[in-house]
Structure 1
């Protein structure tokens, strides 16, 4: 819409005309989500909903890096316990160990990491015990 509002016409009238003309041209036909319920409509109102949605969409954490890595390490151990093979367990633990090692090498702000790389053989041994029966 590049047309400017003509002088002497109220914004409401001008906007209504723009919408009517766009509707007549079919510009609102087949829009994504048409006829579907509005997501999260039944949830209680949260004044910072848009910030939280943006952070979730951008995969941004509000946690300090050390706490985020602690959570990631916890999730990695859970994923390793559900892994389908020993090789997958080793890959998961190696990945999180690499991130832990990198974080330990550099100074960080916020709470201390309080985490050391996991013993891969111990995690694999625990995985074998859970999956042997």
Structure 2
């Protein structure tokens, strides 16, 4: 009796016969995380670690981070009008966030004084 071999099985068998699976990276080594507790998000965490992706922040925390990093953001800007537009845009996003309903614990984000930001920008140039 002849055995049925699917197309996929044939491809795997031929690759094995040609030695394409020999000396693969990690051959003979334990698979990472197999012995640990089950984590359904293992692949996402692995991707974030490999690609050095920061986890997404809640909107209020992202805006706080943006406010804290504002001096570095403005450091490379050459035009005062662009500086003002960036700070005003940030303030608008902060005000828009305040108008939305809050899910969870509220986090207050203060608006940025445009004139103070421009003065600091000028001083840093």
Calculate the TM-score normalised by the size of structure 1: 0.55
Name segments (4+ residues, structure 1) moved above 4 Å: 10-13, 45-49
Q: CA deviation at 1:61?
A: 4.9
CA RMSD of aligned residues (A): 3.9
Give, in whole Å, the separation in 1 of the partners of 2:115 and 2:92.
16
Distance apart, 1:77 and its partner CA: 3.7
1:94-117 per-residue CA deviation (whole Å, 9 max, x = no partner) reads: 111111010011222244332221
Count of equivalent residues = 102
1:119 matched residue in structure 2: 113
Which residue, out of 27, 36, 44, partners 1:51? 44
- Which residue, out of 74, 96, 99, partners 1:102? 96
Unaligned runs of at least 5 residues, structure 1: 1-6, 20-44
Q: Could you list the runs of 5+ residues in structure 2 that have no partner in the other structure?
A: 16-31, 34-38
- TM (norm. structure 2) is 0.58
1:3-14 alignment runs, 5 A limit: 8-9=4-5, 13-14=9-10
- 2:65 paired with 1:71: yes
d(CA) in 1 for partners of 2:77 and 2:105? 31
> Is 2:12 the partner of 1:16?
yes
CA contact (8 A) 2:91 2:111 kept: yes
Task: Tell me the residue number matched to 1:27.
Answer: none
